[in-house]
Amino acid sequence: MSNGANTLYEFGGFRLDAGTGTLWRGGEVISLSPKAAELLNLLIGHDGQIVSRQEIFDTVWADTFVEEGVLTQNIYTLRNALGRDEEGRQFIETVPRRGYRFAGQLQIVNESGNEKADDDEILNDYSAIPLKSTPSLLTKPASRSGRALLFGGLGVLVIAATVFGVYWVAFRKEPKTESVNAPIEQLRFQRLTDSGDVLYPTISPNGELLAYVRLQEEEASVWVKQIATGNSVQTLPPSRKGYRSLAFSSDGKYLFFREQADPGAIYQKSPFVGTPKKVADNVWSDFSVSPDSKQVAFVRRDSTRDAHLLILSNIDGSGESELSARQSPLFYIGGAPAWSPDGAKIIITSGSQQQARPVLLTIDVATGGETELNTPQWRDVTRTLWTPDGKHLIVAARAIDESTSQLWMLNFQGEVRRLTNDLETYFWCSLSADGRTLVTRQQRIFSHLWVFEDGDAKKATQLTSGGNNMDGYRGLTWMPGGKIVFSARSDHITDLYSMNRDGSERIQLTANAGTDNTWPTMSPDGRQIGFTSHRTGARQIWRMIDGHDQKQLTFGEQPKESASSAALSPDGTEVYFLRLGAGPSSIWKVPVDGGPLVQVSHLTNATAEGFLSISPDGKWLAYRHVAGKQDADSEEGTVRVGILPIDGNAEPRLFDIQTRRPVVQWSADSTAFDYIGGAFTSSSLWRQPLNGEPKKLLDFTERTFNFAWSMDGKDLVAARGKLQGDAILITNLP
């Protein structure tokens, strides 16, 4: 296909000028960086043919050294700018291990000849003028022949403009509920912190103060900063227990927080001085304060009912009431329930064990009545705020086909626009009372694989690299003979890969567009791999043999049911897993070739969650033990590990370990289990004997997210990287 200077392409409501790289949607110019426009032009010019990564780099970034992540970022930018076609398909398709291709239906609107135009001839500069119905012509003084061509061309264009204008007014569809880029250029971003150790940045109602939690290696503290001057003061002392979930009262006189020294409790104090006062107890979520500062709203878990409860409580601790409940397999998730500006409603995120997509619910405070909002296909929702006029919501959410959580503005008709659009992640946000100033936490994370020969930190070798990698973050294990199986992210999807212990011969094992495949587990003979996959719409257990013959083992025998955390038995005949949605979360098993499910664990007033690991001798199961009520003396980051015999017929032995991300693996002799320790920013490998005190095995120089011992217990592979967060101020909101 020609890619001439004056070629115009139309596809799916868009028009691209190949000469200038200008992209329109109807009458709107879509802003693209020069490289993104050049990349789109290259893909379209190949007319559906695959363009390899190398060809893209050789063409778009010729004679320039850039990392692989630059291409991924520009593909990401284009996909967000273009959205999806009417059938829900992306315009730019990833062809695993080969490259990319443009998958839209193209039409050439205007294509010039190959001769170079004289200076006196017509100049097309569509980037300089907004397109209302069809491109206009910007001219310089022309020759007599040029004038004839000009007037003839204008006549044709006037007719075309009239026809197109009638079509646009009469036949254009109403806007769909889709991701539309906000006018990003009107927003103003300012970094308020640069230490990389900030959590829960929260702005005061008048927009003058910033409160935040600051992490050190073993402690956390709370600070208050004057935004105008930059002066900061520590308002809560360093604590090994930690703090979370900050909120100001509506008049700014009080700061509310959760102190993990008393987990589940909410406290209030003056932002600068005073003694904290307890407001509420047995709190299982982030919380919000009512507009009149008289109540708090939060979620509590009731394991006896297998339910999540939305609780309202007076600031003085009295008048606690249950506003609504979600019975398993439904539950409340995703940050704090948020009050409407008039205090009449609360918005909260709900999910189910079966459906990956969360929903937003508004709940009437007077009646408890629920209304589900029309929202985009989001995979995660972590924070929701009302704007002061009550007409819009600001949401921290991750799109179904993206790997990072972004900030969005949503109205109650389902129309949505982006506030952020980059490779960073935004989980938390806070809004001033006038709605003009937003503070958010911008998170940056990457993970690379390292091998430690003989488990020695001095014998570390890096296997993978990249600026935005998440290698091993969602699964890591060994095969016999030294191969490594791990999760890796590409184009917002996580799949499983294998490679040699030196990083060579990387092979993709799963490839299901639009779905995640995670948390592999290996049989001792190396033939069978169990894993969790979302490819049927909910998390279920699958297995593969020799990298092929993938088979689904769990199907959700009851509505809203899911399964995760596969663990193969040492003899390779059964797969143990966590089953959710069929009563309280518990441990089950299924034959490796499929068959009836058998329940293993029968816990009292507790559930088995999070992870599952089988000892090499096949005698013990390790899992995360979640009791019906939080303990008052547990520390921030403390996880309770339960140890059950393989048949589940005994009371569990319980161990409290301090870890930020619970991943547990048994020692080779089955007498202990290992985990990644560290209160906040530090990481180290610890071993907890079944009889005795924990012992540190080694310290890591970076944050460590996952690990696995080789089958002989000699070599260690770890997923290491950085997790950083800072406070960002956003002003001039739309």
SS3 for 641-680, per residue? EEEEECCCCCCCEEEEEECCCCCEEECCCCCEEEEEECCC
Is 586's pLDDT higher than 80? yes
Nearest to 339, CA basis, from 367, 298, 396: 298
Q: What mean pLDDT do residues 513-530 have?
A: 88
Domains within the chain, CATH numbers bracketed: 8-177 (1.10.10.10)
End-to-end CA distance of the chain: 41
What was the pLDDT predicted at 168? 31
- The CB-side HSE value for 239 (13 A sphere, CA atoms) comes to 21
Is 508's pLDDT higher than 80? yes
- Provide the pLDDT confidence category of residue 3 given band limits of 50, 70 and 90: very low
Q: DSSP state, 42?
A: H
Nearest to 368, CA basis, from 335, 403, 322: 322
Percent of the chain clearing pLDDT 70 (strictly above): 82
- Provide the pLDDT confidence category of residue 446 given band limits of 50, 70 and 90: confident
Q: Which distant-in-sequence residues (6+ apart) come within 8 Å of 273 by Cβ?
A: none
Nearest to 711, CA basis, from 565, 546, 501: 501
Is 120's pLDDT higher than 70? no
Amino acid at 618: G
Strands across the sheet containing 606-614: 606-614, 620-627, 638-645, 653-658
Is 569's pLDDT higher than 80? yes
What was the pLDDT predicted at 140? 32
CB count, 10 Å around CB of 444? 17
CA dist., res. 81 & res. 13, Å (int)? 12
Mind listing the pLDDT tens digit for each residue in 239-282?
Answer: 877 888 999 999 999 999 997 656 578 999 999 888 999 999 88
What are the DSSP E strand ranges found in 389-436? 392-399, 405-411, 416-418, 425-431
3-state secondary structure of 496: strand
- pTM for the whole structure: 0.63
3-state secondary structure of 256: strand
What percent of the residues of the chain are helix, what percent strand, and what percent coil, each to the nearest 5?
10, 45, 45
CA dist., res. 568 & res. 560, Å (int)? 25
Is 144's pLDDT higher than 90? no
Mind listing the pLDDT tens digit for each residue in 332-381?
Answer: 876 789 999 999 999 998 876 545 578 899 999 999 999 998 888 787 89
Residue/partner pairs of 225-233 with CB below 8 Å, 24 or more apart: 225/192, 225/193, 227/192, 227/203, 227/729, 233/272
Record the tokens describing residue 443, joined without a space: 């998170």
CA dist., res. 533 & res. 440, Å (int)? 32
What was the pLDDT predicted at 514? 65
Q: What mean pLDDT do residues 427-450 have?
A: 92
Q: What mean pLDDT do residues 221-240 have?
A: 90
Record the tokens describing residue 630, joined without a space: 């939080």
CA dist., res. 681 & res. 679, Å (int)? 7
Nearest to 266, CA basis, from 330, 220, 314: 314
What was the pLDDT predicted at 141? 36
Q: Is residue 398 a contact partner of residue 352, using CB atoms and an 8 Å limit?
A: no
CA dist., res. 437 & res. 435, Å (int)? 6
Residue/partner pairs of 384-388 with CB below 8 Å, 24 or more apart: 384/334, 384/335, 384/338, 384/347, 384/348, 384/349, 384/360, 385/338, 385/429, 385/430, 385/431, 386/338, 386/339, 386/340, 386/341, 386/347, 387/341, 387/431, 387/435, 388/341, 388/433, 388/434, 388/435
What are the DSSP E strand ranges found in 283-375? 288-289, 295-302, 307-314, 321-327, 330-339, 345-352, 359-364, 370-372
* DSSP H/E element including 493: strand 493-499
Q: Which residue has the higher pLDDT, 478 or 114?
A: 478
What are the DSSP E strand ranges found in 20-137? 22-25, 28-30, 92-95, 99-102, 107-110
Q: Is the previous residue joined to 329 through a cis bond, with omega within 30 degrees of 0?
A: yes
What was the pLDDT predicted at 2? 39
